[in-house]
Structure 1
Amino acid sequence: MAIDVLLTGFTPFDGAGVNESWEAVRRAAPVLRQRGLDVEALELPVQFDRAGDLLVHAVREHRPRLVVAAGLAAGRAGITPERVAINVRDARIPDNAGAAPVDEPVVADGPVGYFSTLPIKAMVAALPDGVPGAVSQSAGTYVCNDVFYRLQHLLATDAALGGTRGGFVHVPSADVVDPLTVARALVRMVEVALRTEVDEPLIGGAEH
């Protein structure tokens, strides 16, 4: 049976004790359920291949209307929905299984990139007052982008998932925005995405 929303976050990595993306997801999911939505939450490992495999399996199992994958971007100043996933792995640090691919494709012979199918500009516009956010033009080349690309490739190539939309949101570290505030923002962005089929024509570009 199809569900409304699949949310994912990541386990800790690079020696950290927590991953703010999962902290936000695990707090947002019950709030969305209280508001009448059928929601599944999944914690993904910070591992190339494995994380994407688990996400693909979950999407096929639950057939959600919406998939929002979240990850940590520790150096960013706000909540940043991603515009595009690119078909490259180039790891600055090893993943949690020790893999450190360089200049490898996420999907062999896949297209260069995929755009998010979430209304990313409307989601940013809906952030609560005082919560920083912006559209991001790059999800990096680490496991976050890997999961994002695998998700968009799945949605683009599996006809059985034609009604599912998805994308990726990076969240900042807890010293920038506390996880409870990020969770509230995530709830609002999910609700906006569910009711917004066509994104708003707002400025969301960047000079660099």
Structure 2
Amino acid sequence: MVAAPRPARPAAVLVTGFDAFGGDALNPSWEIARALHRRQVAGHRVLAAQLPTVFGAALARLDELLAAHRPALVICLGLAAGRAALSLERVAINVDDARIPDNAGAQPIDVPVVAGAPAAYFSTLPIKAMRQAMLAAGVPAEVSQTAGTFVCNHVFYGLMHRLATVRRLAGARGGFVHVPLLPAQGAPGLPLALMVEGLRVGIRTALTTAEDVRAGAGAVH
């Protein structure tokens, strides 16, 4: 008797967050990512993974994850203390310029993320549609024009370069979202449950929106 074929696993959405940094006991970006782990959104399964807050090592870990899961969608999360909303980043730039050392003590200054690569990449997420959906769900959200030049931008740029150049990742969409502190960490901050819901709504929108809306860009940082 021929065994019935196993049902295909749903396509993956990879969501990453960073480990704790700067003396904090936890990083909200990772708390959000792991709260979404194994959820089903728009017919896709969410897989969460933690990246080290370390130049180079973060991209090496991301490469492992991309090769293992070949996700249809990748959203990397990072903390931006001082912001009061989920910040959907528009552009990643090809420079590491660290004001402070990373978790391994490295502090690159004016070094390209990828030597010889383009100066910048735009997010391929429908960031304005995602913002609208998040706001409609009661979650503060905005479009940001700068992801900085620390490990967050390093990962954002590295992700977009890989999505643009690695053949097996053709068709995958990706981008970066900065998140605020948790209220217990300081102000401004947002509750974890609210940020998790915002990202869930954002993921659903990214999976179901072919082209971005043209209005409502939101606040500029």
TM-score by length of 1: 0.94
What letter corresponds to residue 58 of structure 1 in structure 2?
A: L
Deviation of the 1:2 alpha carbon: 7.7
Deviation of the 1:89 alpha carbon: 0.5
- C-alpha change, 1:91 and 1:188, in structure 2 (3 Å) is same
- C-alpha change, 1:205 and 1:112, in structure 2 (3 Å) is farther
Aligned-residue Cα RMSD (Å) equals: 1.7
Equivalent in 43, 46, 61 of residue 54 of structure 1: 61
Deviation of the 1:38 alpha carbon: 2.0
User: Which residue in 2 is equivalent to 1:133?
Assistant: 141
Q: Deviations over 1:125-154 (max 9, x none)?
A: 011443211000000000000000000000
Q: Does 1:162 align with 2:162?
A: no
- Tell me the secondary structure at the aligned position of residue 31 of structure 2: helix
Normalized per residue, which structure has more strand? 2
TM-score by length of 2: 0.89
User: Which residue in 2 is equivalent to 1:95?
Assistant: 102
What letter corresponds to residue 117 of structure 1 in structure 2?
A: T
Equivalent in 181, 201, 204 of residue 191 of structure 1: 204
Return the alpha-carbon distance in structure 2 between the equivalents of residues 206 and 180 of structure 1: 23
Q: Which runs of 5+ in 1 are unaligned?
A: none
What letter corresponds to residue 200 of structure 1 in structure 2?
A: V
Deviation of the 1:76 alpha carbon: 0.5
Equivalent in 65, 82, 85 of residue 75 of structure 1: 82
Return the alpha-carbon distance in structure 2 between the equivalents of residues 207 and 192 of structure 1: 22
- The percent of aligned pairs where both chains have the same amino acid is 51
User: Which residue in 2 is equivalent to 1:6?
Assistant: 14
Deviation of the 1:71 alpha carbon: 0.5
User: Which residue in 2 is equivalent to 1:177?
Assistant: 190
- C-alpha change, 1:2 and 1:149, in structure 2 (3 Å) is farther
Q: Which runs of 5+ in 2 are unaligned?
A: 1-8, 184-188
Return the alpha-carbon distance in structure 1 between the equivalents of residues 129 and 216 of structure 2: 11
Contact 1:85 1:115 in 2 (8 A): yes
- Tell me the secondary structure at the aligned position of residue 138 of structure 1: coil
Count of residues in correspondence between the two structures: 207
